[in-house]
């Protein structure tokens, strides 16, 4: 009978334990993002004590613990962001949340970490408070992030210090990883005090005490959890990683691992980067940019949802507006000149992509291949559809060309900056339908479009790709004048002003320009590395990088790699050749010289604010247009003969 009672008690205890674990697991799973299966949003802060007393061995244990722990976090702008600080004489930042956007760079920075011990001074507590305040400020730029502090030290008194002196904001979590040597010394001190008290107790107590396990016999990897006040929990190091994950309530799942595929096909990571699987580890991960009209409706909606969130909701909107203001600020100060145009806009796209990936880490900026659509660029069944998977149609001529339908219609979406009324007049292809003063209210922030003409053709892009590396100057002029400026002006409206970066189509256009450069660079090493080398060590405007650093898409700063997926719908090539419009720009080679020159001046260069483009460049652009955009077939040799004799 006694046996059954014990058995029943064991069963009841098991049920209670399972229910408790279920509640823990359920709480943990609620924080896992639905849909893509991407891990929860976390800001993870490591703070390592490197004051006097931190030995080299302790430091190595700390770094090893960080390295192992980070394998269980998805590191990206939209999942886990990592910050690393050390504290000694000063509270020193090694990198903060926004510095690294992927696992590769975080791990690389941790491997470079070197111990530099320094004594604590009288300002140590104040430095600690200031450092935590700085971290809290950086944390507020994204919505819905858990803030987890992991403070690594070998000084047990730091637990009390942090608990009493550091004010943690609501919702943040602090765990002190206390190195085992310090723990054992502390345990020995308490053990000897206990022994002294026990001598004055009865023999019964002495007998009970003699059965205790000596400190030296305790297993080295036993985890000890204590509560110091209501804010902090303590975990002893070294310890198995899963114990730390359990205490900070993070799913025990590894990232950056894979199963090798025999067919050699790319493996997608949790943020949709295309990677290679080597020894069951993901390596060589690329962001893949696709052509927008070739994407599925779901992919389009996913991108546009992230873009609208970025441009309309706080706290993202503030960061976005400060960033795109840079394009306006430096518009006529060099970013559209030959030395900076291609690499600066490549940098710009990567930063814009990072902002979008804060909202959805699987987002990349699509491109619009306007060359395939040149026969009918304004077809509303493709890019310009009014549904929730398109950019919306042309602007209304009688309302200052403000867009009235679709996701970016005037009543639902506004551009960030007030346009100069004169910019509005100059960028409109037709009359505004009334006094400009009467229309300021709705023209000030609406997205405007004034479609006209045709975009450059597929043939002109293919011919441009045939330009040899030694004539990079011609490639650059063709890109800036005959592709970049022309598409800005054919779209018209806001795209024809200094505020062009405010529009959603701006990023699609520049992504395609970058793709053309990327494809031209892939022809040979000469094509890849050629640039205006005499200026390559000059920092690009508004950045900490030079032009050369944004030359190679296989090795961009911040461990970013970018590649492009070709437009898969090849039938457009045939259709483009069969349906040549009477006013197709490629037919201009058959027009009279006066007509051709008038069209070029009026439609291409007078609208888009091109600042101080030289007359020599403009003259060369017209010549390149007459050859590369001319009608008929031409081989590479024919083109080279016409261009260079």
Tens-place pLDDT, residues 241-290? 999 999 999 999 999 999 877 667 789 999 999 999 998 899 999 999 99
Rounded to an integer, the average pLDDT of 60-73 is: 94
Q: Mind listing the pLDDT tens digit for each residue in 130-168?
A: 999 999 988 988 888 999 999 999 999 999 898 888 888
Q: pLDDT exceeding 70 applies to what percent of the chain?
A: 73
**178 sits in which H/E element:** strand 173-179
- Report the C-alpha gap between 383 and 388 in whole angstroms: 11
User: How confident is the model at residue 230, as a pLDDT?
Assistant: 43
- Report the C-alpha gap between 428 and 437 in whole angstroms: 15
User: How confident is the model at residue 217, as a pLDDT?
Assistant: 34
Give residue 623's pLDDT band: very low, low, confident or very high (50, 70, 90): confident
Quote the mean pLDDT of the chain.
Answer: 80
| CATH number, residue 69 | 3.40.50.410
Q: Do 172 and 301 belong together in one domain?
A: no
Rounded to an integer, the average pLDDT of 354-368 is: 97
Q: Domain for residue 206, yes or no?
A: no
Which of 124, 145, 178 represents a domain boundary (last residue)?
178
Contact by Cβ (8 Å): 288, 272: yes
Residue 104 pLDDT exceeds 90: yes
C-alpha distances (whole Å) from 433 to each of 111, 228, 413, 490, 642 are 64, 71, 22, 21, 46
3-state helix, strand, coil in the chain (%, to 5): 45, 10, 40
Rounded to an integer, the average pLDDT of 574-594 is: 41
Q: Do 173 and 305 belong together in one domain?
A: no
Rounded to an integer, the average pLDDT of 428-446 is: 54
User: Dihedrals φ, ψ of 261, to 5°?
Assistant: -100, 125
Q: Domain for residue 313, yes or no?
A: yes
Residue 527 pLDDT exceeds 70: yes
Which of 178, 197, 214 represents a domain boundary (last residue)?
178
User: How confident is the model at residue 190, as a pLDDT?
Assistant: 46
- Report the C-alpha gap between 633 and 282 in whole angstroms: 45
267-268 vs 274-278, strand pairing mode: antiparallel
Rounded to an integer, the average pLDDT of 364-392 is: 92
Q: Mind listing the pLDDT tens digit for each residue in 407-424?
A: 999 999 999 875 555 555
Q: Up-side HSE of residue 205: CA atoms within 13 Å toward CB?
A: 9
Q: Mind listing the pLDDT tens digit for each residue in 191-229?
A: 444 454 444 444 444 444 444 333 333 333 333 434 333
Residue (of 461, 473, 511, 505) closest to 643 by Cα position: 473
Q: Domain for residue 371, yes or no?
A: yes
Residue (of 83, 92, 94, 168) closest to 127 by Cα position: 92
Residue 320 pLDDT exceeds 50: yes
Q: Do 172 and 304 belong together in one domain?
A: no
Top pLDDT among 451 and 603 is at: 451
User: How confident is the model at residue 265, as a pLDDT?
Assistant: 77
Contact by Cβ (8 Å): 383, 293: yes
Q: Mind listing the pLDDT tens digit for each residue in 334-347?
A: 899 988 999 999 99
| CATH number, residue 539 | 1.10.1280.10
Q: Do 167 and 304 belong together in one domain?
A: no
Q: pLDDT exceeding 90 applies to what percent of the chain?
A: 52
User: How confident is the model at residue 379, as a pLDDT?
Assistant: 86
Residue 74 pLDDT exceeds 90: yes
Residue-number span of the structural domain to which 79 is assigned: 40-178
Would you call 604 exposed, middle or buried from its count of C-beta atoms within 10 A (0-12, 13-18, 19+)? buried
Q: Domain for residue 612, yes or no?
A: yes
Top pLDDT among 536 and 546 is at: 546
Residue (of 639, 617, 620, 632) closest to 586 by Cα position: 632
Q: Do 160 and 306 belong together in one domain?
A: no
User: How confident is the model at residue 207, as a pLDDT?
Assistant: 43
First to last CA, the chain: 107
Residue 384 pLDDT exceeds 60: yes
Q: Domain for residue 185, yes or no?
A: no
Q: Domain for residue 66, yes or no?
A: yes
Residue 578 pLDDT exceeds 60: no
User: How confident is the model at residue 326, as a pLDDT?
Assistant: 93
- Report the C-alpha gap between 175 and 543 in whole angstroms: 36
Residue 376 pLDDT exceeds 80: yes
Q: In this predicted structure, which of 277-281, 436-440, 485-489 has the lowest mean pLDDT?
A: 436-440
User: How confident is the model at residue 208, as a pLDDT?
Assistant: 43
Order of strands, edge to edge, in the sheet holding 80-87? 91-95, 80-87, 42-49, 146-153, 173-179, 232-237, 226-228
Rounded to an integer, the average pLDDT of 465-492 is: 94
User: How confident is the model at residue 594, as a pLDDT?
Assistant: 53
Rounded to an integer, the average pLDDT of 470-492 is: 94
Which of 178, 199, 231 represents a domain boundary (last residue)?
178
Identify the bridge partners of residue 75 per DSSP, sorted by sequence position.
Answer: 80
Q: Domain for residue 84, yes or no?
A: yes
Rounded to an integer, the average pLDDT of 16-25 is: 51
Give residue 122's pLDDT band: very low, low, confident or very high (50, 70, 90): confident
Q: Do 509 and 376 belong together in one domain?
A: yes
Top pLDDT among 19 and 586 is at: 19
User: Dihedrals φ, ψ of 333, to 5°?
Assistant: -110, 15
Q: Mind listing the pLDDT tens digit for each residue in 553-562?
A: 999 999 999 9
- Report the C-alpha gap between 428 and 496 in whole angstroms: 8
User: How confident is the model at residue 143, as a pLDDT?
Assistant: 83
Domain count for the chain, please give it.
2
Identify the bridge partners of residue 236 per DSSP, sorted by sequence position.
Answer: 178
Q: Domain for residue 625, yes or no?
A: yes
């Amino acid at each position: 009978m006694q046996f059954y009672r014990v058995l029943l008690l064991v069963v009841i205890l098991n049920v209670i334990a399972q229910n408790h674990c279920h509640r823990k697991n359920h709480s943990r799973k609620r924080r896992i993002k639905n849909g893509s299966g991407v891990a929860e949003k976390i800001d993870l802060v490591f703070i390592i004590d490197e004051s006097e007393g931190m030995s080299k061995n302790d430091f190595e244990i700390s770094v090893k613990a960080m390295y192992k722990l980070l394998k269980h976090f998805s590191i990206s702008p939209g999942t886990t962001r990592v910050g690393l600080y050390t504290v000694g004489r000063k509270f020193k930042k090694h990198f903060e949340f926004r510095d690294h956007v992927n696992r590769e760079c975080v791990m690389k920075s941790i491997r470079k970490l070197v111990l530099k011990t320094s004594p604590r001074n009288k300002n140590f507590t104040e430095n600690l408070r200031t450092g935590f305040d700085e971290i809290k400020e950086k944390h507020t730029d994204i919505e819905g992030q858990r803030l987890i502090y992991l403070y690594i030290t070998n000084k047990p008194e730091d637990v009390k210090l942090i608990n009493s002196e550091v004010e943690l904001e609501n919702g943040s979590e602090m765990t002190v990883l206390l190195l085992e040597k310090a723990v054992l010394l502390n345990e020995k001190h308490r053990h000897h005090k206990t022994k002294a008290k026990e001598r004055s107790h009865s023999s019964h107590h002495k007998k009970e005490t003699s059965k205790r396990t000596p400190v030296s016999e305790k297993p080295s990897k036993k985890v000890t959890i204590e509560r110091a006040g209501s804010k902090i929990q303590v975990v002893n190091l070294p310890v198995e990683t899963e114990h730390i994950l359990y205490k900070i309530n993070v799913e025990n799942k590894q990232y950056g691992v894979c199963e090798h595929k025999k067919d050699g096909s790319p493996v997608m990571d949790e943020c949709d980067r295309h990677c290679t699987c080597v020894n069951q580890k993901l390596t060589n991960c690329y962001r893949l940019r696709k052509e927008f009209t070739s994407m599925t409706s779901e992919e389009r909606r996913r991108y546009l949802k992230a873009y609208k969130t970025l441009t309309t909701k706080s706290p993202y909107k503030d960061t976005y507006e400060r960033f795109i203001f840079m394009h306006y600020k430096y518009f006529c100060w060099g970013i559209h000149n030959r030395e900076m145009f291609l690499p600066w806009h490549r940098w710009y796209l990567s930063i814009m992509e990072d902002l979008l990936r804060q909202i959805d880490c699987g987002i990349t900026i699509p491109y619009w291949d306007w060359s395939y659509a040149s026969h009918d660029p304004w077809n509303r069944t493709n890019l310009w559809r009014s549904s929730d998977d398109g950019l919306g149609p042309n602007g209304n001529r009688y309302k200052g060309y403000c867009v009235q339908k679709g996701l970016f219609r005037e009543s639902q979406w506004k551009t960030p900056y007030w346009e100069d009324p004169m910019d509005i007049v100059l960028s409109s292809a037709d009359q505004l339908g009334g006094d400009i003063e009467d229309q300021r209210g709705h023209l000030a922030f609406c997205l405007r479009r004034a479609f006209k003409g045709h975009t450059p053709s597929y043939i002109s892009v293919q011919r441009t790709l045939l330009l040899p590396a030694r004539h990079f100057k011609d490639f650059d002029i063709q890109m800036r004048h005959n592709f970049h400026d022309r598409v800005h002006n054919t779209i018209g409206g806001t795209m024809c002003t200094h505020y062009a970066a405010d529009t959603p189509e701006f990023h699609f256009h520049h992504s395609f320009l970058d793709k053309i450069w990327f494809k031209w660079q892939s022809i040979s090493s000469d094509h890849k590395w050629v640039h205006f080398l005499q200026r390559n060590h000059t920092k690009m405007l508004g950045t900490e990088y030079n032009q050369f650093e944004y030359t190679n898409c296989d090795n961009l700063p911040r461990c970013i790699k970018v590649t492009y997926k070709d437009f898969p719908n090849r039938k457009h090539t045939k259709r483009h050749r069969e349906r040549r419009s009477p006013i197709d720009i490629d037919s201009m080679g058959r027009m009279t010289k006066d007509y051709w020159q008038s069209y070029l001046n009026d439609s291409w260069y007078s609208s888009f604010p091109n600042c101080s483009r030289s007359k020599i460049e403009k003259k060369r652009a017209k010549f390149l247009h007459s050859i590369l955009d001319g009608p008929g077939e031409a081989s590479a040799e024919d083109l080279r003969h016409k261009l260079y004799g």
